[in-house]
Amino acid sequence: MMDDATLEVLLQSLKQEDEYQRELATAALWQRWFYQKGETGNQRLRAAQTLIDEERLDAAAALLSALVVELPDFAEAWNRRAVLYYLQHLYLEALADCQRVIELVPYHFGALHGLGLCHAALGKYEEAIQMFRRALVVQPYGLVNQRLILECTARLS
């Protein structure tokens, strides 16, 4: 596990002009999230992703649901289940899981992006824009969030 000083450096690196530095920080944060519960936790997340890739969504949902019950502070397990729910068009469920991720890891740019996607899918474009903006505070060079803000703004007018 990284200490707070390392985390602060990574979060600051997301805001640098140097693309390589941003990419390294992004990868390091994802690694931190996936390995929060060690190799065992990471392997279970990977197993769920394999099930998703094989379109065995019910099995993946069961695995991830068991994981969040067993390890309720494992933010990435909640985030992976949110992604699965989003893929299944279960936007309210995905929204709830993304909210849980943000309670655990307020700077989780993936979950902030996910909140924006869920709100947009539900036609709540103002809320979507707010979430994409929050993601941009953490990751100012997140071009996908900038583009989605424009798309949601266009849908409001």
Mean pLDDT across the chain? 96
pLDDT at 2: 54
Write out pLDDT tens, residues 80-104.
Answer: 999 999 999 999 999 999 999 999 9
CA-CA-CA-CA dihedral for 121, 124, 130, 135, to nearest 10: -10
CA 79/CA 83 separation, integer angstroms: 6
Q: Quote the percentage of the chain above a pLDDT of 90.
A: 96
pLDDT at 3: 72
Q: What band does 58 get if pLDDT is binned at 50, 70 and 90? A: very high
The domain covering 106-157 belongs, at the CATH homologous superfamily level, to Tetratricopeptide repeat domain (1.25.40.10)
Residue 114 has pLDDT above 90, yes or no: yes
Write out pLDDT tens, residues 32-54.
Answer: 999 999 999 999 999 999 999 99
Please name which of 130, 132, 127, 128 lies closest in space to residue 146, comparing C-alpha atoms: 132
Q: Is the dihedral of CA 87, 89, 93, 99 positive or negative?
A: positive
Residue 28 has pLDDT above 60, yes or no: yes
Write out pLDDT tens, residues 123-146.
Answer: 999 999 999 999 999 999 999 999
Mean pLDDT of 55-79: 97
pLDDT at 117: 98
